[in-house]
Structure 1
Amino acid sequence: MHYKHLGRTGLQVSRLGLGTMNFGELTDETTSFKIMDEALEVGINYMDTADVYGGPQSPDMEKGYGISEEIIGRWLSQGGRRDQIVLVTKVYQPMGNGPNDRHLSAYHIRKACEDSLRRLQTDRIDLYQMHHVDRRTPWEEIWQAMELLVQQGKVIYIGSSNFAGWDIATAQNIAASRNFLGLVSEQSLYNLTARTVELEVIPALQYYGIGLVPWSPRGKGLLGGVLQKVSEGRRAEPKMQQQIDRHRSQIEDYEALCEKLGERPADVALAWLLHNPAVTAPIVGPRTVEQLTESLRALEISLSDETLRRLDEIWPGPGGEAPKAYAW
């Protein structure tokens, strides 16, 4: 396994992160345990979850919520594993039906952290990510709440997810004024089919020394060899069929290129992200142990300049950083 510093910190994380959103919903607990065991065995130490994962991403009193965290907590309770992983979870999404059961008030951050610690059966969260920006809560309040959690030893690092470039800049400037480390990571939608973050988010991350952790690195399946498996599983759903039809010519060119390279499309998609120096660790969300082990191949793929140019032709980005991408 290869490792990389998370942003400007001294913390080293595996180049692939294990995403656990499927745990409890599409993947049962026994299989989830096997996936985490295998991840640990192959050297993946970045384990990503969220308080809302494991079911519908909204309160469901019949099914419950926090299921993914609870599964991880029971896995950790077996002992000998906690200090081998970088445990990542998130706060923001609704965790109840009350008006203060969501977002980033100091009130909710405190309660959400305590609840996550209980479900995870641990004394600390290594990286606590804000799942979305909350523009109705002042940064002074958010940072005060986060600083307290760090002082108490309940949280080590703070990250963001789905932030705009100007949100990142605002957050960091106010953190600096408080002599606080601020953000060390940003988890964004980023893959060959979704490159908008190249305009302003990635430049902001590089300026402030914040690590980029892409989610949906395979474009929700579009980059996973979808034409060969078009009638299977989620690929057969109407929404996915619409996406396939919309991008069919690009997908055909992409899969033909991957075949020429002798690599699986899913692995080329990951390798493309890993080639970007701004990227710390794409999040893979396997539903089976086999899907996890197959992903490791991406770590060994080296893409030539010619291949990278061809990928840009098939899946063009926004044209570079803003404003040069559109004003020059």
Structure 2
Amino acid sequence: MEYTYLGRTGLRVSRLCLGTMNFGPFTEEADAHQIMDVAHEQGINFFDTANTYGRQVHLGRTEEIIGDWFAKGGGRREKTVLATKLYGDMGDWPNEGKLSALNIRRAVEASLKRLGTDHIDLYQMHHIDRATPWEEIWQAMEVLVAQGKIIYVGSSNFAGWHIARAQEAAKARNFLGLVSEQSYYNLLERTVELEVLPAAESYGLGVLPWSPLHGGLLGGVLRNEREGVRRGGERVVEALAAKREQIQAYEDFAAELGHEPGDIALAWLLTRPAVTAPIVGPRTLDQLQAAVRAVDVTLDQKSLERLDEIFPGHRPAPEAYAW
């Protein structure tokens, strides 16, 4: 496994991040524990979750599964850079969601309890809160850092200008501010190249792409279809209908290179500016082991240019829409 620094910090993390959203609803606890053990064996030290994951069973279920795994000992917690998130509603009563100072305090305490740990390494805001001022958010985060309950703060699904506002507000308080941004980013969805990636580069944030295989569309969906393998839900079927020609060209190119389509998609992300680690969210152990292969895939300039031909990207703003 290769390692890199998370943004401008001194924190070293694996080039793949283990996403845990499937743990609980789609992956039983015993299987989830095995996946996390094998992730460590493969050198993956960076795990991502959220307080709302597992909602199909009950809110917080995924954090509980991770907490039970940590409780087994053997250095599991010490070897893990643990990231979780807050924002989504955890109940029906006011102040059980979003980013008020009150909810930040309550949410972190609840996550710590479910995770069975005394601190969270990377505490991420799952979405922008347009109603809460940055002065309130940063004051609450500063308290948690001072208490040792969190170490770093990250964002998820922020626009470029949200990152700029957050960082300027943090700078005025002499606070480190954001160190990472989780964004929806893959060969098929490259909108973040307009302003989010440039903002992340400028402010020293590590980018953590989620859905790197675009819900499976970049994982060999047409080949699976020919082999009679179920290709996903209605959303995947609709997206495939609109992108079939591109996907076919992509799978043909992957075959030409001698790699699995999913490996190419992950390897491509690892070449992108500011990207620290794509988040892979396996349901099974086989899916995890398949993802690990991508770290060893090297794409030369000609291959990168061909991928840009198949899936055109964006120039950074304002050149993307002006001069």
Pick the TM interval, shorter chain: over 0.9
Give the number of equivalent residue pairs.
320
2:226 pairs with 1:232: no
CA shift in 2, pair 1:236/1:45, >3 Å: closer
- Measured after TM superposition, the shift of residue 325 of structure 1 is 1.0
Which residue of structure 2 lines up, in the alignment, with residue 276 of structure 1?
A: 272
Instruction: Select 1:246's aligned residue among 218, 242, 248.
Output: 242
- Aligned: 1:171 with 2:172: no
Give the whole-Å Cα distance in 2 for the aligned partners of 1:291 and 1:244: 21
Distance, in Å, in 2 between the alignment partners of 1:9 and 1:192 is: 27
Q: 2:105 aligns with which of 79, 103, 110?
A: 110
- Which residue of the partner structure matches residue 23 of structure 1? 23
* 1:205 counterpart (194, 200, 209): 200
The structure 1 residue matched to 2:149, chosen from 151, 154, 163, is 154
For the aligned residues, what is the CA RMSD? Answer: 0.9
What does residue 286 of structure 2 align with? 290
- Alpha-carbon distance in structure 2 between the residues aligned to 1:210 and 1:69: 25
Give a deviation string over 1:106-139, Cα, whole Å, max 9, x none: 0000000000000000000000000000011000
Aligned twin of 2:65: 71
CA–CA separation in structure 2 for the residues paired with 1:285 and 1:55: 16
Q: Which residue of 1 aligns with 2:128?
A: 133
Distance in structure 1 (CA, Å) of the matches to 2:244 and 2:130: 38
Shift of residue 55, structure 1, vs aligned partner: 2.6
Contact 2:19–2:281 (8 Å) recurs in 1: yes
Is 1:324 aligned to residue 319 of structure 2? yes
CA–CA separation in structure 2 for the residues paired with 1:92 and 1:239:
25
Could you tell me which residue of structure 1 aligns to residue 4 of structure 2?
Answer: 4
Deviation string, structure 1 residues 291-314 (Cα, Å, up to 9, x no partner):
111111111111111111110011
TM-superposed deviation, 1:64: 2.0
Kindly state the Cα deviation for residue 239 of structure 1 after the two structures are TM-superposed.
Answer: 2.1
Q: Provide the residue aligned with 1:256 in structure 2.
A: 252
CA distance in 2, matches of 1:165, 1:277: 15
Structure 2 residue runs without a partner (length 5+): none
The one-letter code matched in structure 2 to 1:17 is C
Counterparts of 1:154 and 1:219, CA distance in 2? 34
1:148 to partner: Cα distance: 0.3
- Distance in structure 2 (CA, Å) of the matches to 1:277 and 1:323: 17
1:306 and 2:302 correspond: yes
Output one character per residue of 1:2-57: Cα deviation in whole Å (capped at 9) or x when no partner.
0000000000000000000000011000100000000011110000000000134x
Structure 1 residue aligned with 2:38: 38
Q: Tell me if structure 1 keeps the 8 A contact 2:197–2:273.
A: no
1:295 is aligned with what amino acid?
Answer: A
The DSSP-based 3-state class of the residue aligned with 1:73 is helix
Shift of 1:236: 4.2
TM-score by length of 1: 0.96
2:190 maps to amino acid: R
- Alpha-carbon separation, structure 2, partners of 1:162 and 1:227: 29
Aligned residue type for 1:31? D
Higher mean displacement: 63-72 or 123-132: 63-72
SS at match of 2:270: helix
Q: Identical aligned pairs, as a percentage?
A: 60
Q: CA distance change for structure 1 residues 313 and 12 in 2, over 3 Å: closer, same or farther?
A: same
Distance in 2 (alpha carbons) for counterparts of 1:236 and 1:10: 39
Letter in 2 for 1:215: W
Match of 2:54 in 1: 54
- Provide the rounded CA distance (Å) in 1 between the counterparts of 2:84 and 2:237: 32
| Aligned equivalent of 1:59 | none
What CA distance in whole angstroms lies between the structure 1 residues aligned with 2:238 and 2:115? 38
TM-score normalised by the chain length of structure 2: 0.98
What SS class does the counterpart of residue 182 from structure 2 fall into?
strand
1:317 positional shift: 1.1
1:97 correspondence with 2:92: yes
How far, CA to CA, are the matches of 1:291 and 1:151 in structure 2? 39
- Give the deviation of 1:244 after TM superposition: 0.8
Cα distance in 1 between the residues matched to 2:30 and 2:98 = 32
Query: Which amino acid is 2:37 matched to?
Result: D
